Amino acid sequence: MKRIAMVVLSSYPIDVRVRREAEALCDAGAEIDVLCITQRGELTKDNVNGINVFRLNLKRYRASKLRYLLEYALFFSWSFLKLTYLELRNRYDIIHVHNMPDFLVLTAIIPKLFGAKIVLDLHDPMPELFSSMINVDEKHYIVKILKFFEKICIKFANLVLTPNIAFKKLFVSRGCPDSKIQIVMNSPDEKVFKYHNNSLKESKYSSKFLLMYHGAIVERHGLDIAVKAVAELKEKIPNIYMVIYGRGNFLTKVEKLIDGLNLKDHFEIRGFAVVDEIAAFIPQIDIGVIPNRTNPFTQLNFPVRIFEYLINKKTVIVPETGGIKDYFDPESIYYFKPGDSANLAETIFRIYSNNGESKKTLEKSYAVYKNYTWELQKQQLIERELGLVK
């Protein structure tokens, strides 16, 4: 039996990518320990569906850069000591470290010395995400430092995982050998995001043309653009209604915008929800909206929400960005110009007005999704990761 330790600066099992990968490897016969943090008062030592979980009692806050650094330093120190202790007890075959930050992979120095193989799971490219968060270009000294650390961390690892084509191209362009990196997409687990033939709406939504957004409510995700699009459509589509799941530091501005545009009757903000609740709501909707702005990060990103809508054969509108265009041509999904609320409104109205066209486009969207199901991604993960240890 292979023994694997995972390290991640987020909460388990709330972090969906980590949960999917841990459960997939466990189902393949590996014994998994996860080192993570608490989110909502969980036990510091736990077992979740056969996964051993060790948690540091650390609540994360979206605050100053200094706060981020303190959180990183505290978790790095704890996970280094905890992983070293567990290594001496268990002798791991593989240490699987998830970013952010990239340098968490260095907590595995002692297991590597004892012969463990190291997997670095790059959920996101830190330099691009950082530059997008604080609005600086690639010449900024911190971006250069992050690229330097990224190179070291990739070199330290035996295998690199990343979730889409654009990210892989980026890491290869910065020196990662093509043979060292494997794409494992953030495809939804079909045990959670099940296809429902019955898409009847709850009574309160039965007369609504129902839109949905779910995810972090941060400026780069462009929820204010969706609000403005709804404002432009409320006369043409009087029953338009949008349900929002999520939280984040941009929520207050979104709420003020909804109030200022007199749209309270067209929006419902449900706050944070576990993935199972989101999966249960999607079958009711008419359109899933991903209103991202364009910046160095969103140009590369492929939001998993696309597939979460498509698994239930729901039409989805996405920004015309490179990370998405790698998978969908203009005939197989509805694109809008990033940042353009008027164009987003036009696209929503086009779907509303032409059901025949939207059905054909949805069929093509769904066909793309079927090429990247979690069942297919899971096999790639298992083969590459467990293949590191003969």
Q: Tell me the three-class secondary structure of 270-311, residue by residue.
A: EECCCHHHHHHHHHHCCEEECCCCCCCCCCCCCCCHHHHHHC
Residue ranges per domain, the chain?
A: 3-187+374-386, 203-370
Per-residue DSSP letters for 31-69? EEEEEEE-SSS--SEEEETTEEEEEE-----S--HHHHH
**Alpha carbon 309 to chain centroid distance?**
14
Buried b (16+ CB within 10 A) or exposed e, 246-255: bbbebbeebb
Average pLDDT of span 111-133: 95
Tell me the angle at which helices 251-260 and 223-233 cross, rounded to the nearest 10 degrees.
10
Judge contact between 154 and 237, C-beta under 8 A: no
Which of these ranges, 54-68, 125-139, 301-315, 337-351, has the smallest mean pLDDT? 54-68
pLDDT band per the 50, 70, 90 thresholds, residue 198: low
Within this chain, domains 3-187+374-386 and 203-370 share the same CATH topology: yes
Structurally, at CATH architecture level, domain 3-187+374-386 sits in 3-Layer(aba) Sandwich (3.40)
The confidence score (pLDDT) of residue 67 equals: 77
Judge contact between 213 and 289, C-beta under 8 A: yes
Which of these ranges, 181-195, 219-233, 364-378, has the smallest mean pLDDT? 181-195
Give 42's contacts (C-beta < 8 A, 6+ positions apart): 11, 53, 55
pLDDT over threshold 90, residue 263: yes
Average pLDDT of span 267-287: 93
285, two tokens: 């909707």
Residue 241's SS3 state is strand
pLDDT over threshold 70, residue 63: no
Which DSSP symbol is given to 196? -
Judge contact between 12 and 34, C-beta under 8 A: yes
Q: Does 39 or 294 have the greater pLDDT score? A: 294
φ/ψ (deg, to 5) at 32: -115, 130
**Alpha carbon 328 to chain centroid distance?**
18
Torsion of CA 147, 149, 154, 156, to 10 degrees: 160
β-pairing, 315-319 with 287-289? parallel
Q: Can you tell me the distance from the alpha carbon of 51 to that of 13, in angstroms, rounded to the nearest whole number?
A: 10
**% the chain with pLDDT above 70:** 98
Average pLDDT of span 76-103: 97
Q: Does 190 or 199 have the greater pLDDT score? A: 190
Judge contact between 8 and 15, C-beta under 8 A: yes
The confidence score (pLDDT) of residue 40 equals: 79
Strand partners, 256: none
pTM of the model: 0.93
- 203-370 is classed CATH 3.40.718.10: no
pLDDT over threshold 80, residue 59: no
* Amino acid in position 320: E
pLDDT over threshold 90, residue 356: no
